[in-house]
A = this chain, B = another copy of it.
Amino acid sequence: VVYTSQYPIFFVTADIAVFSIIEDEFRVLLVRRSAEPESNKWALPGGFVDPDEDLVNAAKRELEEEAGAKFGGVLLEQLRSYGAPNRDPRGRVISVAYVGVLPTPSDPTAGSDAAEARWQPVDRLLADSSGLAFDHDLIVRDAVERVRSKLEYTTLATAFVGSEFTLSQLRRVYEAVWGAQFDAGNFQRKMKRTEDFIEPTGNAQPAPGGRGRPAATFRARQHGVMPLLNPITR
């Protein structure tokens, strides 16, 4: 195909850092690249945006194509763009990065249906400086920071759990993402006191492992990510 233009030409990709809590660990979805450049390296799912495609739709499409699974419940929010002149050998490529959050999958292998996809624990990834393709290292780092800070002052945590959840499940989200321990009792009061965050469903769920008092379940009071009046701390 041949184009003419009076302006400099760029290519644009959408790359997605999708996070979830799996086995009580904060993890990010990686895929192994099968084509050049950076073939065989682990990378964030992503790819070139189509000519008439909205950016967020491109992110969603690439995510499902590359991970080989449907992510109906995924929450996507734009992070920022990465456009250093030599970040990609194929030319001047701008990556519009998205942060995604997925509820803990009931099937813990979902997203690993693709031969080469895996949920990588974030702590290990950041510690190893990892050798991801392109500048995906940097993108993951920024995405992790975004998620950690949005947990504090928005309702983002509910995107990590199903539509009906116990306060312990919600607490484990904060503990996994922040790598910190919470006092279960205080956490409970804090969540209930926070306006416009959660509401009781009236149902209960048996404690994990069978032993223990069943927990009341809650649902998010609002859809999407909303700011909180008072931050969640610790």
A: which residues have CB within 8 A of B? 1-12, 48-55, 78-81, 83-85, 90-92, 94, 96, 149, 153, 227, 231
Top 4 A-B pairs ranked by shortest CB distance?
A8-B51, A81-B81, A55-B83, A7-B11
Other-chain contact of A231, B4, B51, B231 (Cβ < 8 Å): B231
In angstroms, how far is the closest chain B Cβ from the Cβ of A59? Answer: 11
A56→B75 CA distance, assembly (Å): 28
Other 5 A-B pairs with CB < 8 A, given A8-B51, A10-B49:
A10-B11, A12-B83, A55-B84, A80-B81, A94-B94
B residues less than 8 Å from A8 (CB atoms): 11-12, 48-51
Given A54-B84, A83-B12, A94-B94, verify A1-B4 contact (CB < 8 Å): yes
B residues less than 8 Å from A11 (CB atoms): 5, 7-10
A6 lies within 8 A of B1 (CB): yes
Closest to A85 in B: B52
B residues less than 8 Å from A91 (CB atoms): 5, 7
Other-chain contact of A83, B4, B96, B227 (Cβ < 8 Å): B96
Closest to A48 in B: B7
Closest to A12 in B: B10
B residues less than 8 Å from A5 (CB atoms): 1, 3, 9, 11, 91
Task: List 23 A-B pairs, Cβ < 8 Å.
Answer: A1-B4, A1-B6, A2-B3, A3-B4, A5-B9, A5-B11, A5-B91, A7-B91, A8-B48, A8-B49, A9-B9, A10-B12, A10-B49, A51-B85, A54-B83, A54-B84, A54-B85, A55-B81, A55-B94, A80-B80, A81-B81, A81-B94, A83-B96
A53→B94 CA distance, assembly (Å): 12
B residues less than 8 Å from A149 (CB atoms): 227
Closest to A77 in B: B80
A9→B231 CA distance, assembly (Å): 43
In angstroms, how far is the closest chain B Cβ from the Cβ of A55? Answer: 5
B residues less than 8 Å from A227 (CB atoms): 149
